[in-house]
Amino acid sequence: MYRLILGLYKNAGRLLKPDEAQNLTEYALCFTMIALGTVAGMSAIATSVGHTFAAITTTLSSALY
């Protein structure tokens, strides 16, 4: 049992080298920056679309009455 656990530990050490962990961290940071930029862009677009629909609603309601 001890040899099995030791073998698994050695193999896990080979799979996760320090360079790979650094790459994963960099990918996570890039993904976070892209996600934050997307959220900021979506809120700006949502505000613009909201104003456009409000203008359309106002124009249609004034034309009907």
Query: Domain for residue 60, yes or no?
Result: yes
Query: Domain for residue 54, yes or no?
Result: yes
The whole domain housing 60 covers 20-64
Angle (CA) 46 51 56, round 5°: 125
Distance CA 23, CA 44 (A): 32
Please write the tens of the pLDDT for every residue from 43-58: 889 989 999 999 999 9
Length of the chain: 65
22 pLDDT more than 80 = no
Mean pLDDT calculated for residue range 1-18? 70
Whole-number pLDDT of residue 3? 77
**Three-class secondary structure of residue 52 per DSSP:** helix
Distance CA 24, CA 27 (A): 5
Total number of domains in the chain: 1
